[in-house]
Structure 1
């Protein structure tokens, strides 16, 4: 099937979920039957999501790939505006655990066909009756497409318990919708080659939207049936320590940048061969563009960059919110030298060869993180 579709069918299914996320912007998503976490690894880059969870019965396959969900250095250098927490659980999708309640989006990609028909009712009760998310995406093989798959005999995967036609899937989905208060849209991915469009998509998809209000439950939470295998919280600008680190790094960058440009312009004026009158006119014209409080100046062998000038840098302004907060952050950070009145950042006039790197010592801890992981995704008839 890898060569039968371009892009591969599993990527088309993942892209369908990603496009749904872009349009609807859920904040909390859980992938049931997350397997090797391949979908979660793609979704985590869409930072409108604040809680991303995965559940699978096979703990070994989660443990093998879960480290790829750990933050990378870029996540600390460019943290998101909102927090992101990732949690992975070992457990059965036919069991209720209150930690998977309250999600905006539930995905079940090529999962239900691995359940016994007797477990399907329990799955429906867990997802639609217990979790009651705003939206559910369920994909499953379309049995009508199977004759087009080269070399296929029987089901697409040895572990499949059934494979439904479009009519069978739609009958089940509509019944679930009526029972739990959801409406369903039917679509799919993996179009038939050539002109044969009568068999439908290779993977059929049902998108369930909740139409009935969620009733407030006063039932006790019950036992924790799932085992938490992995949990990590990504850095974000909502964390004051992270915000301060990023803001100071931005200030230091722009301070050096403004200092360098100012020294270059000053040197050019000093070496100018034009008349003193022209030089004075050019200097007055350039300096006149800035208010007095925004002009750089020398103090001994140092260059002073006014905070008011730094405030005009869009990134600095957006991070700090107001200039009083910016001054407070700079005065309290040991990496920044300030004038006595606290109105300017003081830099050595000569270039400083020591670069200020982001400190990772306060990076949030996470469970079971290894240094490096090689992740691969293999495609078979059930992928």
Structure 2
């Protein structure tokens, strides 16, 4: 392609939070010109991730990713954020990769480029490129490491004087400290504590937290801990809870097979008593193609138990068709299969999470909006039961 004015690629905004949309525009192309628009990101583990769509410029010689249709690639159709949610490891990468941000105070640097044609562009020089910054923390958000009284976690405080409503953020049974969801929640006005709960014995009060406006969010094994805290823990009486990809155990031994042995003492497996004791609003979020756990059926069990306790009105349920187990913040890549680190060991297992890429991406975007609305309603509303964080 040779022309007097070179193609121009622009991204607006070029710097934004990871849950915010951007627009990609390519100008100065010949009319009817086939091009490939590609995103490329090198993770903190030095693995490369990519996504791309095939487009044809309009009569003005422009391509707008948010307005035009991708004819092929890692996504098709009119998908403004397909260059992010359809990311996958480049060919030849290690198997079972999962993209998770470790350093939440550093941005994801994504290069977006346009190439001539619809073929393999991996060895081509781009016609134009732009660098995009995707952040998990907004200006003014404070990150505070907590390592005391048996607690290991990270507290994120929103900008401003506070105090703020607060969230306790619990991830799954793989253990470790995952900060990126808590960081985003702080950007949206909630003091958020990402907690490595498998080694924690206690929580603490913080002067920037409103003590009677605390919620809990959990995914996978974290949902069982969330339900147990809401029902049994004497020091935490949350105002609301969010459970993503719900699990429970119905074994005769009242144990969870294949889960960590370092389980907090407040976690109970007496299912009817556990759920029946909960007195706060709960939001249940599940994917119907979850291949890891029968989460939709678990949600039905929760609702049945709450109905029998006369508390069904406290439950809001969201089931997403063809979404999988790992429902994360919006525009995160989808992982149908990924490595899972067994807690307390250095062993990895290949885990089937389920989901189809496009429906799963839709579920992540929609559920995040509804999570924020749910928290806004119940944590910025009228007073309720007290809790400590």
TM-score interval, normalised by the smaller of the two chains: under 0.3
Higher relative contact order (CA 8 A, sep 6+): 1
Which structure dedicates a bigger proportion of its chain to strand?
Answer: 2
What TM-score, normalized to structure 1? 0.26
Which structure dedicates a bigger proportion of its chain to helix?
Answer: 1
What TM-score, normalized to structure 2? 0.26
Structure with bigger gyration radius: 1
